[in-house]
């Protein structure tokens, strides 16, 4: 069985498990049904939405808790997009639940403060915290909110939402009066808490025992830096070309900022060999902290992660397209193919808005000994101009015709963004 087939099967299994976990509280409520009186449809509909929303909210954290077995078949970027979509769905379910649960008492006084009672009060708290969390996630850049501050607010809001939702469901004493339903809700909340403790505690303690030392902080041009790291007291890790890691910089993992960074090194290296990470200045951390890092400093790597790798794509060759710092994972792919003596052809398109935006990691010197046919630089978003190709150059739009004229790779195409 090929690696691609294996990942597909694992993905189907994990998605099936996710579906079961999401619908389990609702299914348990339908089976046990401790309420014998006939209730109106809109009330039953609202309660059903509430059970699904609670399960979605709890599993939201599981999607981004970096459980490698679950994330490997999908890739981190796919899970993040799914996480965001399910967050919006959970907000819609909770809002519809609140508006439908008792259509006769929609006056604000019945929703707020002590006068609302435990059921409505905790429900209102959960809805408000969820709305705030979604709003900050969608509009963080527009609000110019620092990533680290957003992460802290995200965690606090998530704890409030799960805690308030659990109290709300148990205090309502409807379907949750049955021990099985109540037990499932409590177990879900406990799993959420366990994932949080592992993510913010045990995971960071494990990283603390596996430090890395900065050997070199090399400017690459275009406001980019390459960090060369070596493992201290351990053998590092193996990775697939195209994957990335979370880099933690600071005095300890417990008090460090963490950011996703693509690996620029070949995957065909000893586990304890130096590792290269290329980072472009795009914000406060990458623009201020990264350039100031000095050789000898310790940092920590969490990973590898991501599914954007040629190892998962059976192909006769590759068409790779990158812009700016997006060249980093593609560099890892190309160097890995070279070191494996894999002679499948590679056609590389590399674009930058101006010559000053060229990252030196994409220079023709980087591709010596590889099967890269062309490397082209773009001076606009729509045209490619003859550039720094190792075997020639061409001009025109980046469509199938230029691929055929270049005589390069076949069939498979990829984009230079980590997944």
pLDDT in tens, 366-405: 556 665 655 555 443 333 333 344 444 444 555 555 555 5
CA 47 to chain centre: 31
Report pLDDT for 37.
Answer: 76
Closest among 95, 114, 106 to 57, alpha carbons compared: 95
Structure tokens given for 90: 């959970």
Q: State yes or no: cis peptide before 181, omega within 30 of 0.
A: no
Q: Band the pLDDT of 26: cuts 50, 70, 90.
A: very high
* pLDDT of 361 over the 70 cut: no
Q: Band the pLDDT of 272: cuts 50, 70, 90.
A: confident
Give Cβ neighbours of residue 307 (< 8 Å, ≥ 6 apart): 7, 72, 73, 74, 75, 76, 78, 419
Report pLDDT for 323.
Answer: 77
Q: Band the pLDDT of 410: cuts 50, 70, 90.
A: very low
Q: Band the pLDDT of 148: cuts 50, 70, 90.
A: confident
Give Cβ neighbours of residue 25 (< 8 Å, ≥ 6 apart): 51, 52, 54, 55, 181, 184, 185, 188
Q: What are the residue ranges spanned by the domains of the chain?
A: 3-207, 212-305, 310-415
Q: Return the SS3 of 303.
A: strand
* pLDDT of 207 over the 60 cut: yes
Structure tokens given for 361: 């990691």
Rounded to an integer, the average pLDDT of 139-146 is 83
Q: What is the CATH number of domain 310-415?
A: 3.40.50
Give the E-state strand segments of 158-296 in sequence order.
212-221, 224-231, 244-250, 256-262, 275-280
Report pLDDT for 267.
Answer: 87
Q: How many CB atoms lie within 10 A of CB 149?
A: 11
Report pLDDT digits (tens) over 317-342.
888 887 777 888 888 888 888 888 88
Kindly report the pTM of this predicted structure.
0.74
Report pLDDT for 180.
Answer: 94
CATH 2.40.30.10 given to domain 212-305: yes
* pLDDT of 233 over the 80 cut: yes
Closest among 83, 18, 78 to 52, alpha carbons compared: 18
Report pLDDT for 22.
Answer: 93
Q: Band the pLDDT of 52: cuts 50, 70, 90.
A: very high
Report pLDDT for 320.
Answer: 82
Long-range contacts of 84-91 (CB under 8 A, 24+ apart): 84/137, 86/56, 86/59, 86/60, 87/60, 87/133, 87/134, 87/137, 88/134, 89/56, 90/53, 90/56, 90/57, 90/60, 90/130, 91/130, 91/131, 91/134
* pLDDT of 343 over the 90 cut: no
Q: What 8-state DSSP symbol labels residue 75?
A: -
Bridge partners, 87 (sequence order): none
Q: Band the pLDDT of 304: cuts 50, 70, 90.
A: confident
Between these two residues, 133 and 387, which has the higher pLDDT value? 133
Report pLDDT for 55.
Answer: 94
What strand order describes the sheet that includes 256-262?
256-262, 244-250, 298-305, 212-221, 224-231, 275-280
Residue at token pair 């435990």? 118
Q: Band the pLDDT of 419: cuts 50, 70, 90.
A: very low
Q: Band the pLDDT of 121: cuts 50, 70, 90.
A: confident
Report the C-alpha gap between 103 and 45 in whole angstroms.
13
* pLDDT of 65 over the 80 cut: no
Report pLDDT for 25.
Answer: 93
Report pLDDT for 228.
Answer: 93
Q: Band the pLDDT of 54: cuts 50, 70, 90.
A: very high
Indicate the helix (H) or strand (E) that contains 301: strand 298-305
Give Cβ neighbours of residue 128 (< 8 Å, ≥ 6 apart): none
Q: Helices marked H in 109-268 — which ranges?
A: 117-143, 147-172, 179-197, 203-208
* Cβ 60 vs Cβ 86: under 8 Å: yes
Backbone angles phi, psi at 323, to 5 degrees: -130, 135
Report the C-alpha gap between 367 and 369 in whole angstroms.
6
Rounded to an integer, the average pLDDT of 36-55 is 87
Between these two residues, 280 and 272, which has the higher pLDDT value? 280
Buried b (16+ CB within 10 A) or exposed e, 94-108: beebbebbeeeeeee
% of the chain beyond a pLDDT of 90: 21
Q: What 8-state DSSP symbol labels residue 215?
A: E
Closest among 242, 265, 240 to 419, alpha carbons compared: 242
* Cα dist from 249 to 46, 293, 301, 302, whole Å: 46, 9, 9, 11
Report the C-alpha gap between 195 and 189 in whole angstroms.
10
Report pLDDT digits (tens) over 251-262.
888 776 788 888
Report pLDDT for 88.
Answer: 92
């Amino acid at each position: 069985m090929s690696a691609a087939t294996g990942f597909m099967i694992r993905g189907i299994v994990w998605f099936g498990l996710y579906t079961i976990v999401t619908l389990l509280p609702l299914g348990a409520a339908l089976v046990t049904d401790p309420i014998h009186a006939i209730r109106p449809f809109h009330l039953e509909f609202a309660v059903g939405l509430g059970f699904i929303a609670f399960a979605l909210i709890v599993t939201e954290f599981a999607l981004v808790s970096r459980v490698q077995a679950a994330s490997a078949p999908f890739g981190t970027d796919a899970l993040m997009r799914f996480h965001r979509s399910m967050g919006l769905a959970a907000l819609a379910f909770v809002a519809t639940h609140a508006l439908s649960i008792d259509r006769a008492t929609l006056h604000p006084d019945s929703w707020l403060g002590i006068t609302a009672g435990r059921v409505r009060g905790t429900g209102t708290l959960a809805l408000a915290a969820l709305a705030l969390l979604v709003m900050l996630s969608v509009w963080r850049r527009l609000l110019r909110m620092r990533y680290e501050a957003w992460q802290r607010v995200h965690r606090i809001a998530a704890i409030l939402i799960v805690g308030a939702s659990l109290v709300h469901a148990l205090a309502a004493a409807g379907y949750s009066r049955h021990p099985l339903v109540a037990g499932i809700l409590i177990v879900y909340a406990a799993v959420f808490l366990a994932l949080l403790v592992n993510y913010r505690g045990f995971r960071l303690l494990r990283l603390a025992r596996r430090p890395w030392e900065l050997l070199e902080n090399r400017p690459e041009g275009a406001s980019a830096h390459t960090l060369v790291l070596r493992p201290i007291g351990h053998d590092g890790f193996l990775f697939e070309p195209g994957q990335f890691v979370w880099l933690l910089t600071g005095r300890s993992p417990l008090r460090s900022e963490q950011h996703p960074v693509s690996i620029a090194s070949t995957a065909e290296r000893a586990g304890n060999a130096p590792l290269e990470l290329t980072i472009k200045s795009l914000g406060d951390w990458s623009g201020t902290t990264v350039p100031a890092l000095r050789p000898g400093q310790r940092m920590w790597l969490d990973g590898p992660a991501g599914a954007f790798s040629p190892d998962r794509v059976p192909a006769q060759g590759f068409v790779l397209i990158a812009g700016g710092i997006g060249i980093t994972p593609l560099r890892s792919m190309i160097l890995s193919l070279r070191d494996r003596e894999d002679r499948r052809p590679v056609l590389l398109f590399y674009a930058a808005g101006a010559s000053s935006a060229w990252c030196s990691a994409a220079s023709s010197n980087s591709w010596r000994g590889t099967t890269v046919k062309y490397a082209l630089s773009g001076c606009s978003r729509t045209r490619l101009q003859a550039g720094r190709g190792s075997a020639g150059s061409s001009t025109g739009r980046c469509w199938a015709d230029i691929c055929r004229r270049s005589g390069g790779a076949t069939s498979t195409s990829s984009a230079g963004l980590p997944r």
